[in-house]
């Protein structure tokens, strides 16, 4: 099914910024933050960078979202209503040890940093922070994760770091365009992906 859809998409012309933003557009970031101004600032900035963004304004809603869907990275405030960020991080890590979590917080003592890392956070950035620095940290975590990520669908396996696709242990030669589209399809396995949906999600402005 995935290869049939892929062949149907060969007519699409991908050039310039569309190619550069293709992978970003299916990178999904969850922001759990109760300060509306920060949420709006981050959401707008990250969407302009090409990422898909979902937000939650308390720890309970944030936990609920992590149980309902998969995210590629989580930005987590420490001081949250209902469930604080430290406890939320621990709760997420019970079932998910992979998704990068970055704490956004005014807490900056050595002990608090250690507590956050012990709870399962991958990184820690102090408020107020530079948006440019945050974006670069996000990119680093995506690069690190990509370096070890292998996707699979039936007999198809994809090594994202080596840019290799195997079907029944035989390597398949794909163009960069096809490789990126197949990555999107496998990350959305179990869902019906029509041609229009893929065009809108991957190539729409």
Could you check whether the bond before residue 128 is cis, i.e. omega within 30 degrees of 0? yes
Specify the residue for token string 């990275």.
73
163: exposed, middle or buried (C-beta count within 10 Å: 0-12, 13-18, 19+)?
exposed
DSSP state of 200: I
What is the model's pLDDT at position 7? 43
Whether pTM > 0.85 for this model: the answer is no
pLDDT (0 to 100) of residue 86: 93
The confidence score (pLDDT) of residue 99 equals 87
Give the distance, in angstroms, between the CA of residue 37 and the centroid of all CA atoms in the same chain. 22
pLDDT for the residue 193: 76
**Half-sphere exposure of residue 64, counting CA atoms within 13 Å on the CB side?**
9
In the chain (205 residues long), the average pLDDT of successive 10-residue segments reads 42 38 66 94 92 94 92 93 94 87 85 88 88 89 67 80 76 75 80 75 53
pLDDT score of 179: 75
């Amino acid at each position: 099914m995935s290869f049939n859809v892929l062949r149907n998409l060969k007519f699409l012309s991908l050039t310039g910024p569309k190619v550069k933003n293709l992978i970003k557009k299916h990178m999904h970031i969850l922001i759990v933050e109760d300060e509306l101004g920060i949420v709006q600032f981050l959401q707008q900035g990250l969407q302009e960078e090409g990422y898909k963004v979902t937000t939650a304004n308390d720890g309970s809603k944030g936990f609920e979202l992590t149980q309902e869907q998969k995210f590629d990275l989580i930005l987590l405030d420490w001081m949250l209503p209902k469930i604080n960020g430290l406890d939320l991080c621990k709760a997420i890590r019970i079932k998910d040890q992979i998704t990068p979590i970055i704490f956004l917080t005014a807490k900056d003592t050595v002990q608090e940093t250690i507590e956050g890392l012990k709870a399962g956070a991958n990184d820690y950035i102090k408020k107020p922070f530079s948006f440019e620095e945050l974006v670069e940290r996000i990119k680093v975590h995506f690069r690190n994760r990509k370096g070890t990520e292998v996707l699979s669908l039936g007999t198809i396996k994809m090594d994202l770091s080596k840019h290799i696709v195997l079907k029944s242990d035989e390597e398949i030669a794909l163009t960069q365009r096809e490789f990126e589209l197949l990555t999107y399809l496998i990350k959305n396995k179990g869902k019906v992906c029509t041609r229009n949906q893929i065009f809108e999600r991957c190539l729409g402005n």
